[in-house]
Amino acid sequence: MRLKLSTTSFALTLFLMFVLTANAQDERPTEAIKQPLSTAAWNGFYGKFRISDKIFWDAQFHYRRVGNESADYFGQMGQIYNRHAINYLVNERFSVSLGPVLRLNFSPDPGNPEFESLVLEPRIWHEYLFAMPLTRSMIYHRIRIEHRWSRSNAVGADWIFRNRWRYKFYMNIPLNNDKLAPGTVFFTPDVEIIMQNGKKVVDSPLEDLRINPSIGYIINPRIKITAGMMYTTGQTLDAGYLYTNRWIFRTNAYFSLDFRKKESRVPRTRLFD
Amino acid sequence: MIYRHLYRFFLSCCYPIQLSALPSCLVFTLFFSLSSVQAQQPAQRYEGRYRLLDSVTGTAIYDYIMLDGDTVKNGNFRFQQFIEHYQDSDTIHGFVLDGPFTRNVKNGAWRFVSRDFTVSGNPQALDARVVYNVTGEESLLKTTFKSGTVDGQYELLDRKLVDSDAADTTYYAQLSYQMGQPRGTLRGFAPQLQTQGQFDEEGFPHGDWHFTHAQDSAADIIEIRRYDHGFFSKHFYEIDQERYEISHIGFDTLVRSGQGLLTRLPVTSTYFRALEYTELVMDTTALTGLFTDGNLQILLSRSNQFMERVLANPASYRGKNVWQRIEGSKIISPIRIKIRKFPFSDEEKRLNMANEKLLRETRLIIANFLDNPAVQTGRFSQLELARSFAAFRIYESRLTALAPSIAFLVDQAAEYVDHHAILNRKKLALRYPDTISYEFKNANATYSYAFPPSLTNYDVAAINQHLTEVFDDVQRVVHTSGAFLSNVVAQGELTEKEERLIDLRDSVIQLFSEQELTETFTKLHQRFSEPTNLALESTFRDYSLLSVQDRLLAIDSLLSCYQTYGGLHATLANLQQRLDELDAEYTRSIWNAYTYTYMEERVKERLYNIYNDQLIPYLLTALEQNLNCDTLSASLSRIYSLLDRMMELRMEDTRQLEHQLRRAPKDPERYLEIIITN
């Protein structure tokens, strides 16, 4: 698959979107339209640092590039993404998180004076994660809710507020072992649906549908890595009949560290106070 | 200290703000700060493995400075040894020794705490931890050192804990030291006892020492020991405010001129033993039902035990001087008392020792003779044996009566009491009959036996002569019976022992051959089955080729050997269990916050891998290849030493050890040396 998206075609697409949007009230297409296929590469670093028996600091960082006419997937900067939260482990099968996000959106057309080169996008997010063992695998149900304030990179664009409602189903299925343990290669089927609402969301409640199978490897009890190709599609904000169409190459590294002091079964204060 | 004074000076000139003095204060402060920086070496902290002077190892944290290239402890020191036995018995024991040093000298409040705990009750979840209560015993010694000399309050405490709560204080004593000498008041208590006494300026007990004995159903009994600057001069019991004096026959409680000088004696168990040798005399007629000679002795012993702990062993815990386990302080000596000594002459000492030895050997010969099965059976058919048996029974009873007096005379404590007075109150009358009665061929008979003359006094030379005559007679009888006895013994013992030997051999072979059917079967049993069978058959074949006399000589060691092989089966089962336990101990379970699962990880990987991949195979191979009676126990002992050491190392900082292992040549013996001796 060789995909090229020139600056001209990008501008044309935007133009079409505006035109179609403007005409939507009067001339709504009779069928959905797919945007031209685009590509991206997301590299994620995920950290969960245990700071007490129940509380973790959840720190995530994404380095995202998008394809352009010069190169698919890695052509230019897309976003930098910082997500943090306090994660509370209710029990070994359920946790909740709450925290801020700051996303840095880079210009879709670097050098074009009509676009700001960098726009910030803050969010507040909270998440509810359910983990369920299934024979030797694990099943996860993740509900994530985000409150986002965003604006496009177009000069003078207005801020808009939206809520995102995300549900994700994924699994970790060990392939070469009977459990998830160091040295295990695992397969992760992963599907996520992202709905949205807000004043500006008129006819595009389905923001994104992500299908993200990946292969992972557990290096040790604290580190695992994954890689996969994600296909996503969803309605564009301004024209509900216009669907995005993306392939995204994803690599992730997950760090699970314990910052607590070592403890003994019998508290030492009892023996050596 | 000088810095503290300078600091006070600084405050005194700056605190009442006087602007005119301020510049000089600032100059002073600057000078002082610079000089302080130069004089004070940077403090550093050590955390890790530490070996006390008595070779006990544990972990320590302490501050130190470097002086002339050497570490000098300066600041707080804390040592702890902590051993868990969860797998075997859920017990945990350890001790802490902590306090401050000033340039390698103990200076400040020091504490020793020992605890022996057993996990009790059910586990309780506390947040994400599992907590157990404990039941056990705790001992505490606490004091203050000034420049390495004990100076300040001194406390000893033993108590029991039940479910982590203090349940019962079994011993408490508190006294004060001033530059190494006890001063002031000693207070303490133990079950049913409260104590209070004073020390004089030289550290001797002085004045009335009160021991209040609580009675279950009657008024408290107050025992009063009056010390005259260390000399035990009066002894009373006080009941309902009435005093009753107790006389100790044989113990000089009167300071009398012309009777020799008093000896200054560090209090030891000998002193209290001497007290208990004395005969107590007290008029108890007015106290019928309340006080008897029996409970008088019990109360005396209770007081003695209390005093012995604090006076004789103030710094001791389980036989070790706790403060001397690390350098930096002078020895805390036992407290001294004064006593009149009744010394033995050199000749008396020699004879007392000789009498004790003669008595011991004679009684041993007699006991062996009387217990000998050949004698037991032969005396009904052999006339000489019957007569000797009857005579030895009489000797046995007489020597048993004499034994306490001989033990008393060789006891060092006898010199601290008037031993003549004590012995003379016990009339000695070792008399022998002219004839003995015995049973022979189902009939009773008498025989005129030449016993030694009677012994009627405690003169050590007379005792020695008497014991010598008894010993000679006993030797003569045993010698003349020897030939008959040796034949009986040889035939009887061999037959019986060979039956046991064969049973034992067969049972061991059976154990190893049927293991597959039992639950405790392990791969180690399978591995050692054939070598064990071969060793048993080979040794039995060699034994069978020996003559009767040689078999008699060899059979005991062979029996012992086969018992060791029998124990090997149980040992191998336990060994597999220990190997599994260590595997679990060196495995850590870690929560992964992304997979929501626990994952296991090997702890101290280099150490464990060397132990598991090299040392255990090496030691098992050595055991298998040298499976014989001479080396079996030693080979097993090496394996268990390694396992014990590995269990200890799990709880210790092993970075240094692992570093040594990494640099060591790949030689199992070298690895063993590093792991076991480190």
DSSP codes of every residue in B463-476: HHHHHHHHHHHHHH
| Angstroms from B89 CA to nearest CA on chain A | 14
> Which letter does DSSP use for residue B251 in this model?
S
Residues of B in Cβ contact (< 8 Å) with A90? none
Residue B67, φ and ψ in degrees, nearest 5: -130, 125
**Nearest one of B379, B377, B407 to B392, comparing CA atoms:** B379
**Cα(B632)–Cα(B79) distance, rounded to whole angstroms?**
38
User: Which of B134, B164, B595, B605 to probe by mutation at the A interface, max A CB count within 10 Å?
Assistant: B595
Is B417 exposed, middle or buried, given 0-12, 13-18 or 19+ CB atoms closer than 10 A?
A: buried
Cβ <8 Å between B129 and A267: yes
| Angstroms from B536 CA to nearest CA on chain A | 45
Cβ <8 Å between A256 and B594: yes
Nearest beta carbon to residue A265 from set B130, B593, B601: B130
**Nearest one of A256, A66, A234, A269 to A162, comparing CA atoms:** A234
Tokens representing residue A34 in the block? 């797919």
* B593 has a chain A CB within 8 A of its CB: yes
A161 occurs within a structural domain: yes
Residue with more model confidence, B448 or A144: A144
* B130 has a chain A CB within 8 A of its CB: yes
A2 occurs within a structural domain: no
Residues of A in Cβ contact (< 8 Å) with B164? 270
What is the greatest pairwise CA distance in chain B? 122
Query: Which region holds residue B591: left if phi is over 0, alpha if psi is between -120 and 50, else beta?
Result: beta
A96 occurs within a structural domain: yes
User: Which of B594, B600, B652 to probe by mutation at the A interface, max A CB count within 10 Å?
Assistant: B594
* A272 has a chain B CB within 8 A of its CB: yes
**CATH code, domain with A234:** 2.40.160
| Angstroms from B117 CA to nearest CA on chain A | 8
Tokens representing residue B23 in the block? 């510049």
B492 occurs within a structural domain: no
Say how many residues make up chain B. Answer: 678
| pLDDT value, residue A8 | 37
Residues of A in Cβ contact (< 8 Å) with B132? 265-266
Tokens representing residue B670 in the block? 């070298």
Tokens representing residue B448 in the block? 């005129």
* A46 has a chain B CB within 8 A of its CB: yes
Are A6 and A69 a contacting pair, CB within 8 Å? yes
**Nearest one of A178, A254, A173, A259 to A219, comparing CA atoms:** A254
| pLDDT value, residue B40 | 53
Are B170 and B140 a contacting pair, CB within 8 Å? no
Domain boundary residue, one of B338, B361, B392: B338
* A256 has a chain B CB within 8 A of its CB: yes
Residues B34 and B50 in one domain: no
A43 occurs within a structural domain: yes
**Nearest one of B393, B376, B397, B396 to B385, comparing CA atoms:** B376
Query: Which region holds residue B604: left if phi is over 0, alpha if psi is between -120 and 50, else beta?
Result: left
**Cα(A140)–Cα(B515) distance, rounded to whole angstroms?**
47
The residues with which B63 forms a beta bridge, in sequence order, are B45
| Angstroms from A229 CA to nearest CA on chain B | 20
A266 occurs within a structural domain: no
Residue B257, φ and ψ in degrees, nearest 5: -70, 155
Are A192 and A166 a contacting pair, CB within 8 Å? yes
Helix (H) or strand (E) holding B214, with range, is none
Cβ <8 Å between B132 and A266: yes
**Cα(B163)–Cα(B288) distance, rounded to whole angstroms?**
43
Are B414 and B408 a contacting pair, CB within 8 Å? yes
User: Which of A168, A222, A271 to probe by mutation at the B interface, max B CB count within 10 Å?
Assistant: A271
Tokens representing residue A194 in the block? 């992202």
Sign of the four-CA dihedral B2, B5, B9, B10: positive
* B166 has a chain A CB within 8 A of its CB: no
**Count of domains observed in chain A:** 1
In which domain, by residue range, is A144 found? 7-259
Residues B352 and B320 in one domain: no
Consecutive 10-residue averages of pLDDT for chain B (678 residues):
36 39 42 43 84 87 89 93 69 90 94 88 74 86 94 93 84 93 93 92 91 81 88 83 78 55 79 78 61 72 88 87 91 85 85 90 87 70 84 92 88 84 77 87 84 85 90 87 64 73 86 66 83 86 74 83 85 85 86 92 90 92 85 85 89 88 90 86
Cβ <8 Å between A222 and B132: no
Q: At what angle do helices B460-513 and B346-371 cross, to 10 degrees?
A: 40
- pLDDT digit string, tens, across residues A236-245: 998 999 999 9
Sign of the four-CA dihedral B214, B216, B219, B223: negative
Per the prediction, chain A carries an average pLDDT of 88
**Cα(A13)–Cα(A235) distance, rounded to whole angstroms?**
15
In which domain, by residue range, is B368 found? 346-481
Amino acid at B406: I
Residue A214's pLDDT band, with cuts at 50, 70 and 90, is very high
| Angstroms from B588 CA to nearest CA on chain A | 10
The residues with which B142 forms a beta bridge, in sequence order, are B111, B155
3-state secondary structure of B410: helix
**Chain A, 187-226: which have a CB under 8 Å from a chain B CB?**
218, 220-222, 224
**Nearest one of B600, B265, B554 to B413, comparing CA atoms:** B265
**Cα(B586)–Cα(B613) distance, rounded to whole angstroms?**
14
> A61-64: long-range contacts at Cβ-Cβ below 8 A with a sequence spacing of 24 or more?
A64/A40
> B469-474: long-range contacts at Cβ-Cβ below 8 A with a sequence spacing of 24 or more?
B470/B362, B470/B395, B470/B399, B471/B358, B471/B361, B471/B362, B473/B391, B473/B395, B474/B362, B474/B365, B474/B366, B474/B369, B474/B392, B474/B395
Residue A234 CB coordination number (10 Å): 20
**Count of domains observed in chain B:** 4
Cβ <8 Å between B129 and A224: no
Indicate the pairing of strand A185-188 with strand A190-197.
Answer: unpaired
Is B199 exposed, middle or buried, given 0-12, 13-18 or 19+ CB atoms closer than 10 A?
A: buried
How many angstroms separate the first and last alpha carbons of chain A?
Answer: 68
Name B235's Cβ contacts closer than 8 Å, sequence gap at least 6.
Answer: B223, B224, B225, B226, B245, B246, B247, B248, B253
| pLDDT value, residue B489 | 58
Residue B670 CB coordination number (10 Å): 13
Residues of A in Cβ contact (< 8 Å) with B594? 46, 48, 224, 254, 256
Map tokens 């025992």 to a residue: B223
For A268, the closest chain B residue by CA position comes to B82
B450 occurs within a structural domain: yes
Nearest beta carbon to residue B590 from set A93, A179, A222: A222
Amino acid at A234: G
Cβ <8 Å between A263 and B115: no
Name B166's Cβ contacts closer than 8 Å, sequence gap at least 6.
Answer: B159, B160
Tokens representing residue B331 in the block? 């020895």
| pLDDT value, residue B10 | 34
Domain boundary residue, one of B310, B338, B366: B338
pLDDT at A17 over 70: no
Tokens representing residue B587 in the block? 């495995």
Sign of the four-CA dihedral A178, A182, A186, A188: positive
pLDDT at A24 over 70: no
The residues with which B439 forms a beta bridge, in sequence order, are B444
Residue A53 CB coordination number (10 Å): 12
Residues B276 and B415 in one domain: no
For A223, the closest chain B residue by CA position comes to B592
Amino acid at B464: N
**Nearest one of B629, B634, B507, B632 to B557, comparing CA atoms:** B629
**Nearest one of B586, B602, B581, B583 to B649, comparing CA atoms:** B586
Cβ <8 Å between B599 and A46: no
Nearest beta carbon to residue B592 from set A256, A267, A270: A256
Cβ <8 Å between B592 and A224: yes
Cβ <8 Å between A222 and B592: yes
How many angstroms separate the first and last alpha carbons of chain B?
Answer: 40
Name A109's Cβ contacts closer than 8 Å, sequence gap at least 6.
Answer: A7, A10, A11, A115
pLDDT at A143 over 90: yes
A1 occurs within a structural domain: no
Residues B173 and B316 in one domain: yes
Cβ <8 Å between B599 and A258: no
The residues with which B102 forms a beta bridge, in sequence order, are B105
The residues with which B47 forms a beta bridge, in sequence order, are B61
**Nearest one of B244, B539, B301, B276 to B411, comparing CA atoms:** B276
Domain boundary residue, one of B311, B338, B365: B338
Q: How far is CA B87 from CA B92, B181, B578, in A?
A: 11, 47, 9
B387 occurs within a structural domain: yes
Q: How far is CA B282 from CA A39, B133, B223, B420, in A?
A: 109, 50, 13, 21
A270 occurs within a structural domain: no
Are B204 and B198 a contacting pair, CB within 8 Å? no
Cβ <8 Å between A224 and B128: no
| pLDDT value, residue A84 | 97
